[in-house]
Structure 1
Amino acid sequence: MVQKAPGTKRFWVGNRLVVLAGKTISNAFRTARRHAVLTAVAGEIGEQCEIGIVRNNRVVYVDSVRVAPSQGLQFDPGTDAPLYCTSTGKIYLSRMPGAARDKLVRTLPMQQHTPNTITDPDALLAVLAEVRRKGWASTNEEYVQGVVGCAVPITAPDGTLIACLGVSVPTARVRYDELGAFIEPLQRAAHLLAQTILDGEDEDG
């Protein structure tokens, strides 16, 4: 389906994601204004923040800001990661229609990256139900041992998922049960990022 918003380039909407037509993913999302929002929230939180979308059932990170020395996971632009063990992936899966979500979860190849990786489909579906209820997702050393994280959706006014804004934190600095403190600043930044994307702010300056 193709939609055209006033004053913007055309958008292709698929899998409830918005992809800017005619541009690479990174260039579409990393503009001066959006990167400034990402830099500001990373500075407020004091940890790496990243914007991720989903392509071909993989999370693709399109921009990131690192404000502290990394001790684990680094989601640089262009990096991809699995759906089932990342916060962005969990948000995407949780927002799929029930039957489609169940089918995808039961057919995804799920590798045991760490002792905490959820590879049982029923257990993952239960987590996704909780993510859908809360509106945000978290991971507890599920992709890289020693790294926890959380993410919130970046949505259009009608609720369509555009992308996700997340934070990745070494457990040496933040415990898993402390991640909730990041949700409010992430949600504020996600609202600002959604506005820049829907405004069609495609060029720097």
Structure 2
Amino acid sequence: MQDFGQLDAQGDPEFMTSLARGLAVLRCFADQSRPMTIAQASRLTGLSRPAVKRCLHTLVRLGYAVQDGTLYGLRPKVLALGFAYLSSSTLAMRAQPLLDEVRDELHESCSLGVIEEDEVYYVARAEVSRIMSIALRVGSRLPLYCTSMGRVLLAGLDRPAQQAYLRRTDLAPLTGSTVTEPSVLLQILRDVAEEGYAIIDQELEQGLRSIAVPVIVDGRVIAAVNIGTQADRVSLPDLRTRYLPALRRVARDLAAMRPTG
């Protein structure tokens, strides 16, 4: 959670604390995906209850939230905020038809992600209709250290930036296979940079495998493309022989378009 008091204390005269608080309250709904009370939003954001109450009151008055007794939820109007990014993002718009092609070719979900606030943000996704225990969509966020797209994005950073990320991140074991030792992760990132792809085998969630490649423009990793699948259906060799070429094709096509944003 953000420490808004500390941000104020940094002496930035242009920083709007009230706006930051409102955005923090909005974001906590995305994290929880359900209506919340003032107390719950206060706990998630680290803001006082009176501050959260004023933010929610304002959001309700503006039509971005709705109140039902003690519970607050979001209204469809908030979709305009996310759509503003998607409609202005050259990268996401150009990637979508390419992701759709891979989904139709391999019958697997395919996604595009970027690094933001030490997480992978999903900015485009082509999904298949298949029951999986992890639900992902545009706007979803996942850890960098234990996801295929996250490791590709981390591998594009220099070593001091990688080390700084590992120091400030809670490297929690999400399954029995999750790699959490910083020295091992640094070696993995070195291998990913050399090989040009990353594979995750049930480190994020039991039964889930994924493979990702970087989108590189002017020598810089600007995004990652991945395919996620079920371990009982797709072997590790299949990820390399069948899925890796398709992902590299998407990354190559995106780089040739010189996407930005």
Give the TM-score band, short-chain normalised.
0.7 to 0.9
> Is the helix fraction higher in 1 or 2?
2
Partner of 2:193: 132
Q: Which amino acid in the other structure matches residue 234 of structure 2?
A: V
1:171 to 231, 234, 237: 231
Within 2, Cα distance between the matches of 1:133 and 1:177?
A: 19
Matches within 5 A, 1:53-202: 53-156=114-217, 158-181=218-241, 182-198=243-259
1:51 to 92, 102, 112: 112
The one of the two structures with greater contact order (alpha-carbon pairs below 8 A, sep at least 6) is: 1
Offset of 1:166 from its aligned partner? Answer: 0.3
Asked whether the equivalents of residues 111 and 227 of structure 2 are also in contact (C-alpha less than 8 Å), the reply is yes
Partner of 1:30: 92
Offset of 1:26 from its aligned partner? Answer: 3.2
Within 1, Cα distance between the matches of 2:253 and 2:169?
A: 33
Q: How many residues align?
A: 176
**In the TM superposition, what whole-angstrom CA distance separates every residue of 1:75-117 from its partner, at most 9, and x where no partner exists?**
3100000000001110111121122212322331111111111
Offset of 1:139 from its aligned partner? Answer: 0.4
For normalisation by structure 1, the TM-score amounts to: 0.79
Q: Which runs of 5+ in 1 are unaligned?
A: 1-22
Q: 1:42 to 1:110 in 2, by over 3 A?
A: same
Offset of 1:146 from its aligned partner? Answer: 0.4
Within 1, Cα distance between the matches of 2:210 and 2:238?
A: 10
Larger Rg: 1 or 2?
2
Offset of 1:130 from its aligned partner? Answer: 0.9
Q: Which amino acid in the other structure matches residue 253 of structure 2?
A: L
Partner of 1:9: none
Q: Which amino acid in the other structure matches residue 183 of structure 2?
A: D
Within 1, Cα distance between the matches of 2:182 and 2:197?
A: 20
For normalisation by structure 2, the TM-score amounts to: 0.63
Q: Which amino acid in the other structure matches residue 166 of structure 1?
A: N
Within 1, Cα distance between the matches of 2:258 and 2:86?
A: 13
Asked whether the equivalents of residues 87 and 137 of structure 1 are also in contact (C-alpha less than 8 Å), the reply is yes
Q: Which amino acid in the other structure matches residue 255 of structure 2?
A: A
Asked whether the equivalents of residues 147 and 170 of structure 1 are also in contact (C-alpha less than 8 Å), the reply is yes
Within 1, Cα distance between the matches of 2:231 and 2:184?
A: 23
Partner of 1:8: none
Structural RMSD (CA): 1.9
Q: 1:130 to 1:25 in 2, by over 3 A?
A: farther
Q: More displaced, 40-49 or 98-107?
A: 98-107
Asked whether the equivalents of residues 72 and 146 of structure 1 are also in contact (C-alpha less than 8 Å), the reply is no
SS of residue matched to 2:250:
helix
Within 2, Cα distance between the matches of 1:35 and 1:149?
A: 19
SS of residue matched to 2:150:
helix
> Is the strand fraction higher in 1 or 2?
1
